[in-house]
Chain A
Amino acid sequence: MGGSIITCTDVCVAYGRQEVLHSVNLEIPEGIFLPFTGPNGSGKTTLLRAMLGLLPVRKGQIETPFHKSPAGYVPQHKVIDPLYPVSVRQIVGMGLYPERRRLLPLNRRQKGRVDGALEQLGMAEHAGKNFRELSGGMKQKILIARALVCEPEVIIMDEPTSELDEASEKEVLQHLLDLNRNHGITVLMAHHDLELMGKLTDSTCHIRRGKAEIVTIGNGGECDA
């Protein structure tokens, strides 16, 4: 692991008058697999969204490398309405938007990258299928492939496994761990199950009452500050 890739300094985020995060100070090391845990409504998603620039910061500062290269963002698969008649390849190709020419279709090299990202997640055979025809776990993997295709330094996920069954959840989490270990990609994700996270990693960013800190967790899922 190198230096810190994201730094939050005295960050306050609010929805209207209600302040959700108060004076958050964090230094997230490069190449870490870091789940954001905490009770419902504690501000896990809010902090990740603020890091992505989707929410304005009321006070303080968040330093990210996303102005140079965008983050790989993986929302919950339900954000894509099944009404859209788009193929898996089109969804993954969306990840290449920042570097593609607006009016032209993907060139051969970019198509290769899309296929590569799908292959990395074992989804190459589904490339031509319609996104809505896939199961929840498969959709989530396609969204991970979309995040991967632009070769990001950081992947940020909002409860990526919340709607999945146990088997699909395990499979998706295993892929994320592999990406982190084999490719050195920093993985940040909101997750509610501290016990499960304890089995995957030894540290978590625990958020409670609007305060966040990186703590170590044991196999049983207990936090040690």
Chain B
Amino acid sequence: MAVSAMHDAMQCLYCQFPEALRAGLLISAVCSLLGVFVILKRAVFIGITLSEVAACGVAASFLLGIPPFAGSLILVLGAVSLLAMPSENQRIPRDTLMGILFIAASALTILLVSKSGPGLMEINAVLYGDLILASKKELLILFFVLTPALLLFLLFVRPTLYTFMDREGSKVLGIKTWIWESLYFLMLGIVISAASQIAGALLIFCYLVVCPATALILSKRIKTVMLISPLFGMTSTFFGMVVSFNYDFPTNQTICIICCILFAVGAACRRAVSLLMRRTVFPEHSVQLSEQNATCRRRAGPLRGRWRS
């Protein structure tokens, strides 16, 4: 019964909202791929900061009457150049600067939307986006921005990886590290600007962090991680849209929850596999360890009682 209802929902979704489905799959694939490097660089905060700055740009565009992509692009590129300034000799570390930008952008978005006339619905649309409302024009913009960004990233993934992994070692090898680092963050900024109006800050942040994290938990190889992270993003998007369509849930938040469920399942599977491997490969060691644990527990017994009292 439930399966047939889901099947109907899939068909309706594809017939009624083909742009939304295509836009969702494209955004999820590109953001989940770029997100692998966001996590590896330990720059997760940059994801939410740029998403929030992009939302602020969209809000400013409403007020000024300019295209939303232009507004968010200008602000995001401004933020990227501010964050790209060398921070080694600065008194304030880069993540503090990101925090200040995040707070300013979040507050300013609400202020701008409240002054631009529209009501709560528009505020929600700017802050959280709504994938299901993606139009043909928006899909076209996404296609012409995200596809070249994706190709460029794949073309230069090796020097970018080396730069992020070992900056000084790369410099010695003659890699122009500042070019690859700037190019990556520039691309990230452009992708976030293009996707923010439809996907909203929360969903973009989810694609940048949760899907790559799931892939990193499940694989030890960078190539596999870069392959399965977009797959997780696209799968979550597809099923998220189907579930939201079927049960009348907000689309973006449903996708976020499905991404998080996939992460939890992935983490549980990884844990189960590593436990199983330990028992299969080192059965004696595992028995020895459990005996040692039992001895420790026995010895700590009276002490534990004393601490409790």
- Which residues of A are at the interface with B, using a C-beta cutoff of 8 A? 16, 49, 52-54, 66, 70-71, 73, 75, 79-81, 83-87, 90, 94-95, 97-98, 102-103, 130, 146, 150
Contact = CB atoms under 8 A, between A and B. Distances in A.
B93 interface: no
Contact of A85 (B42, B166, B170, B219): B219
Contacts of A86: 161, 165, 222
B225 interface: yes
Nearest to A103: B155
Contacts of B89: 16
Contacts of A83: 39-40, 42, 216
A52 B174 CA distance: 11
Interface of B: 39-40, 42, 89, 155-156, 158-159, 161-162, 165-166, 168-175, 216, 219-222, 225
A49 B169 CA distance: 11
Contacts of B174: 70, 97-98
Contact of B225 (A49, A53, A71, A85): A85
A27 to B, nearest CB: 22
A20 to B, nearest CB: 14
Contacts of B42: 81, 83
A97 B166 contact: no
A86 B165 CA distance: 10
Contact of B173 (A80, A87, A98): A98
A54 B174 CA distance: 11
Given A49-B168, A75-B169, 7 more contacts: A53-B172, A81-B42, A83-B216, A84-B165, A94-B169, A102-B155, A150-B173
Contacts of B156: 102
A117 to B, nearest CB: 15
A71 B158 contact: no
B172 A73 contact: yes
14 contacts: A54-B168, A54-B172, A70-B174, A79-B168, A79-B169, A80-B166, A83-B40, A83-B216, A85-B221, A94-B166, A97-B159, A97-B175, A98-B173, A102-B155
A94 B159 CA distance: 9
B37 to A, nearest CB: 10
